[in-house]
Structure 1
Amino acid sequence: MENPLTPEVLADPVKLTRALVDIESVSLDEKHIADCVEEVLRGVPHLSTYRHGNTVMARTELGRAQRVVLAGHLDTVPINNNFPSELRGDLLYGCGTSDMKSGVALALNLAVTVADPRYDVTYFFYEAEEIEARYNGLTLVSQAYPQWLEADFAVLLEPTHGVVEAGCQGTMRVVVSTTGARAHSARSWRGSNAIHAAGEVLRRLEGYEARRVEIDGCAYREGLNAVKIGGGVAGNVIPDRCEIEVNYRFAPDRTPEQAQEHLREVFAGYEMRVTDSAPGAAPGLTAAPAQEFLAAVGAAPVGKLGWTDVARFAAMGIPALNFGPGDPNLAHHADEHVELDKIRAGDAILRRWLSGV
């Protein structure tokens, strides 16, 4: 199959965004897009290119004093009547336009066109970010070839609408359970209704006051919310168990262990089990490349309120931030789109940063 990433397309980040969007790459089906990206990068003389699964990495070897990473995931969520792409005026519509093929296009365009950056650069295009962590290409490479990711600083090209979003919040899911005793509903006083008992858990959530934390000038607002509830046996049985699934988004000044301890205090007296947890990441703005990146952007950073793979970089001791042209509020939507001006502006910022001009 002919590679749609032609020299003409590669030279223009807008055209490149559209070409990438028109390569279907739902999670676990990234082989074709990885093949196309790998073929392009292996043809660039100033890069050394490697592949692991459907993750492709290319790097300069110029002997610079510092190394930076530009990273983006190749996969998308399932298509929702938004494939292939469609250009409407100054907006490009299609699955992955915002999250995050416009960001991938910026990195791939720079990889091909910038031969003499002021840092050594690692360009990292990875698989399976949108699904379970065990498939995530960044995680798999960090386990198999950690040397590929060694760097002083990383930019994750997640959608931020052209704003620097520093660090990220941690996330934790727990299940809080209430118990009772079964009985026939005609003789309900002989039992104890676990669903009714869940009312106190819900009242604690309703009255919860979430922390607001400022770290390195970046504000993080926590959140604690019920996201699912289940219980019941049959239409004529008093239920003896009810489970409330709760999601906690916590500021990066808390470890997962501290977050769990806090939740045990909130839900004291109830059974609670943790079903999922991921640490946050501090803003990471003190590294010299980060300061130089902020200077190139020319605007103050804000805290990332969601969770992103910057936390995986932070776990490896690499400060990282989020920056990309897409609007995060459009990620995963059927009408997902990206503004062409945001792609061009992001390209100008990254070029200014890498060139030092």
Structure 2
Amino acid sequence: MQNPLTPEVLADPVALTRALVDIESVSLNEKAIADCVEEVLRAVPHLATFRHGNTVMARTELGRNTRVVLAGHLDTVPLNGNFPSTMRGDLMYGCGTSDMKSGVAFALHLAVTLPDPRYDVTYLFYEAEEIESRYNGLTLVAEAYPEWLQADFAVLLEPTYGIVEAGCQGTMRAVVTTYGERAHAARSWRGVNAIHGAGEVLRRLAGYEARRVTIDGCDYREGLNAVRITGGVAGNVIPDRCEVEVNYRYAPDRDPTVAEAHLREVFAGFDLVVTDAAPGAAPGLGAPAAQEFLAAVGAAPIAKLGWTDVARFAAMGIPALNFGPGDPNLAHHRDEHVEITKIRDGAATLHRWLAPA
């Protein structure tokens, strides 16, 4: 197909957002959009451009003392009657408008139009953020070309509604299992009901008091909740097994080892198996580039209540923040949209931060 990312489109972050949204790129189907982005970047003389799978990286080599990363994922969740984009007044609707092609548009616009940024910049446009980690472009790049990710500071262009969301929570999933003994439901006293036994698990969850932790002025609010219950054999059988899946979102002052120990304390006496875990990320506000970025934004940061790929940078010792024009509450919704003013304001903020003094 003819590349819709023309010079005129690339010059305008709003037009560029819409053009990116109108290239369908559901997870694992990012080839078309990656092809378009790669073609644009390879034509820019001040950038060195590389590709791995459907992840495209371009970087300046200006000899600056500081290198920053602008990173955004190219994929979206499955379409839901919201493709292609539509405009309604100051709002652009469509799959990926908020999460996160408006953020990707920031990076691509700056990559093309700002040849002499105050820092050296690595622009990362990566695949498969919305699905399992094994497909994630940052994971694959970290394994194959870790040097692509090396920097002093990173901005992940996730939707934050134009404010800085610092760091991110850690997340852990675990299964708490209760056991019983099967019996015919007509003679239930001969068995032990494992589902009834899960009542104590639910009582502990209902009475759980989650921590609120302030780190670098950012208030992280934790949560521990049941997200799924599985049990039962048949309509006339007393069940001998019940599983309660729990999700723990914890502040970045805890690592997965501490988080698991906490869950085992909460559910002492029960069989608990951790099924998935990802560490959080500290706010990362101390780096000089971060301080200058906050000054460009002109508003105090807040804690990121959720997990994002800033944790991947934090694991490599690279402080990182979340910043993008979309509303995170609209991500994955059928009526996902972004405000035009937020796109323009956010692009101006990043330009103010990166433009040479």
Q: TM-score, normalising length from structure 1?
A: 1.00
Mapping for residues 1-357 of structure 1, pairs under 5 Å = 1-357=1-357
- In structure 2, what is the Cα distance between the partners aligned to 1:110 and 1:160? 19
Letter in 1 for 2:293: F
Tell me the matched-pair count: 357
Q: Letter of the 2:116 partner, please give it.
A: D
Q: CA deviation at 1:21?
A: 0.1
CA distance in 2, matches of 1:212, 1:351: 35
Partners of 1:119 and 1:17 lie apart in 2 by 25
1:270 Cα deviation after fit: 0.3
Q: For the residues of structure 1 that align with 2:134 and 2:97, how far apart are their CA atoms?
A: 25
Cα deviation 1:18-59 (Å, max 9, x = unaligned) = 000000000000000000000000000000000000000000
**Structure 1 residues 356 and 213, CA gap change in structure 2 (3 angstroms):** farther
Give SS of 1:14's match.
helix
What's the CA shift string for 1:126-174, capped at 9, x where partnerless? 0000000000000100110011111000000000000100000000000
In structure 2, how many angstroms separate the alpha carbons of the residues matched to 1:61 and 1:73?
A: 23
2:235 is paired with a residue whose SS is coil
List per-residue Cα deviations over 1:101-135 (Å, max 9, x = no partner): 00000000000000011100000000000000000
Secondary structure of the corresponding residue to residue 35 of structure 1: helix
CA distance in 2, matches of 1:237, 1:211: 40
Asked whether the 8 Å contact 2:201–2:267 carries over to 1, the reply is: yes
The separation in 1 between residues aligned to 2:155 and 2:206, in whole angstroms, is 37
Q: Which digits, 9 at most, give the CA deviation of each residue in 1:260-289, with x for residues without a partner? A: 000000000000000110000000000000
SS at match of 1:329: helix
For the residues of structure 1 that align with 2:42 and 2:356, how far apart are their CA atoms?
Answer: 26
- In structure 1, distance between residues paired with 2:57 and 2:302: 29
CA RMSD in angstroms comes to: 0.5
Distance, in Å, in 2 between the alignment partners of 1:327 and 1:185 is: 50
Q: Following the alignment from structure 1 to structure 2, what is the Cα–Cα distance between the partners of residues 32 and 145?
A: 23
- CA positional deviation for 1:68: 0.2
Q: Which residue identity lines up with residue 237 of structure 1 in the other structure? A: V
* SS of residue matched to 1:117: coil
* Counterpart code for 1:342: K
**AA aligned opposite 2:53:** G
Aligned AA (1:97): T
2:116–2:356 CA contact under 8 A, matched in 1 = no
Counterpart of 1:331, as a letter, is A
CA contact (8 A) 2:41 2:49 kept: yes
Shift of 1:355: 1.4
Task: Tell me by how many angstroms 1:303 deviates.
Answer: 0.4
Q: Which amino acid aligns with 2:237?
A: V
Letter in 1 for 2:195: I
Letter in 1 for 2:162: G
Residue 316 of structure 1: how far off its partner (Å): 0.9
- 2:178 counterpart SS class: strand
Matched residue type, 2:284: G
- Could you list the runs of 5+ residues in structure 2 that have no partner in the other structure? none
Deviation at 1:356, TM superposition (A): 5.0
Normalised by the length of structure 2, the TM-score is 1.00
Stretches of structure 1 that go unaligned for 5 or more consecutive residues are: none
CA displacement, residues 46-98 of structure 1 (integer Å, 9 cap, x when unaligned): 00000000000000000000000000000000000000000000000000000
Alpha-carbon distance change, 297 to 356 in structure 1, aligned in 2, over 3 angstroms: farther
Identical positions, percent: 82
Contact kept in structure 1, 2:168 and 2:310, CA below 8 Å: yes
2:198 aligns to what SS in structure 1? helix
Q: In structure 2, what is the Cα distance between the partners aligned to 1:67 and 1:235? A: 62
Structure 2 residue identity aligned to 1:41: L
Looking at structure 2, the residues matched to 48 and 31 of structure 1 have their Cα atoms a distance apart, in angstroms, of 20
